[in-house]
């Protein structure tokens, strides 16, 4: 608890200290800031698994090209949800959609992604920084500056991570990350099922990440864990883990990839399903 409190105090104090330090003190301030952020990251469970680098994910998705664009376009960017759980998942999925849009250089689509991120950022209460960042994505999309768009997406990830730390919401951090990973996995496994090669199939095997997200879903607060949606996501994720584990050292076969594709599609559809006025998830198959 003390490291978190220290991090909060340092983070709050540094902006007012900085002017008094002058240029010679900038290195010291940066070191303190990074130390405070490190404590906060540790306390909130934010690490390379919970918030994977956007640049790496972009490169990973590059290797699965072509991604079925109909699948990308199937996401209703205007969808809203009456609970933070689905809103967090959808936010992560929209970011993943943005990765594919940038790879395929679609200016109008990246504008839609930017606007959707603004709406979701407001719904999540993550602050004005994301609103400004998403507006920058729209501007760069209009200009067709794809290299800078990739850089801006990386900065967007940093802003999301910083906002999660400021909210001190570990579950939010994991759910946004899980939504992005799930959507990216859906793209990759569908692309592999459409054009199977052992090399592509081998790239789907990420037992460490899958195990991590199984643990995150398994340790949600009881109210969330008892919902049909979480039960479905956890069950299907464990099945994907089992399929990849049984493959051993070999790449998953075509039939195994097809099975994982169906599971991933079912998980995404469930995550974006409608709820009733009481927050009960509808159209979710046990």
Full pLDDT tens readout for the chain, 286 residues: 333 332 332 233 333 334 343 444 444 334 433 444 444 444 444 455 444 455 666 667 878 888 888 999 889 998 988 888 898 899 889 988 988 888 888 877 888 888 888 888 788 877 666 777 777 888 888 888 888 887 887 777 667 666 766 767 677 778 888 998 999 999 999 999 999 999 999 999 989 989 999 999 999 888 888 888 899 999 999 999 999 999 999 999 999 999 999 999 999 999 998 765 444 656 544 4
33 plus 73 within the same structural domain: no
Is 49 a domain residue? no
Whole-number pLDDT of residue 41: 45
Distance between CA atoms of 2 and 8, rounded to whole angstroms?
10
In sequence order, what DSSP letters do the residues of 160-226 get, joined into one string? HHHHHHHHT-HHHHHHHHHHHHHHHHHHHHHHHHHS--HHHHHTT--HHHHHHHHHHHHTS-HHHHT
Residue 91 CB coordination number (10 Å): 25
60 plus 13 within the same structural domain: no
Is 279 a domain residue? no
Whole-number pLDDT of residue 104: 84
Is 92 a domain residue? yes
Whole-number pLDDT of residue 153: 75
Whole-number pLDDT of residue 255: 97
Euclidean distance between the first and the last CA atom of the chain, given in angstroms as a whole number? 39
Question: Is 126 strand, coil or helix?
Answer: coil
pTM for the full predicted model: 0.78
Is 112 a domain residue? yes
12 plus 110 within the same structural domain: no
Residue matched to tokens 């864990």: 225
147 plus 35 within the same structural domain: no
12 plus 65 within the same structural domain: no
Structural domain that includes position 40: 2-44
Whole-number pLDDT of residue 114: 84
Q: How many structural domains are present in the chain?
A: 2
265 plus 165 within the same structural domain: yes
Whole-number pLDDT of residue 161: 64
164 plus 26 within the same structural domain: no
31 plus 68 within the same structural domain: no
39 plus 59 within the same structural domain: no
């Amino acid at each position: 608890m003390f490291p978190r409190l220290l991090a909060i105090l340092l983070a709050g104090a540094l902006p007012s200290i900085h002017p008094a330090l002058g240029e010679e003190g900038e290195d010291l301030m940066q070191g303190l800031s990074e130390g405070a952020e490190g404590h906060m990251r540790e306390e909130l469970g934010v690490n390379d698994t919970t918030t994977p680098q956007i640049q790496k994910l972009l490169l990973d998705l590059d290797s699965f090209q072509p991604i079925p664009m109909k699948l990308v376009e199937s996401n209703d960017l205007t969808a809203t949800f009456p609970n933070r759980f689905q809103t967090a998942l959808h936010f992560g999925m929209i970011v993943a959609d943005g990765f594919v849009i940038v790879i395929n250089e679609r200016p109008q689509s990246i504008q839609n992604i930017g606007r959707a991120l603004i709406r979701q950022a407001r719904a999540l209460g993550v602050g004005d920084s994301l609103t400004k960042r998403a507006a920058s994505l729209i501007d760069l999309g209009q200009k067709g500056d794809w290299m800078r768009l990739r850089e801006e997406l990386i900065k967007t990830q940093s802003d999301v991570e910083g906002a999660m730390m400021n909210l001190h919401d570990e579950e939010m951090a994991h759910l946004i990350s899980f939504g992005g990973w799930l959507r990216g996995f859906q793209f990759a496994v569908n692309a592999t099922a459409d054009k199977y090669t052992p090399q592509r199939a081998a790239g789907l095997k990420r037992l460490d990440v899958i195990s991590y997200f199984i643990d995150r879903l398994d340790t949600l607060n009881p109210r969330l864990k008892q919902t049909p949606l979480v039960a479905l996501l956890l069950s299907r994720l464990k099945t994907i883990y089992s399929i990849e584990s049984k493959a051993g050292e070999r790449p998953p076969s075509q039939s195994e990839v097809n099975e994982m594709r169906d599971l991933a599609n079912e998980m995404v559809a469930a995550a974006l399903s409608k709820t009733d006025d009481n927050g009960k998830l509808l159209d979710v198959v046990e």
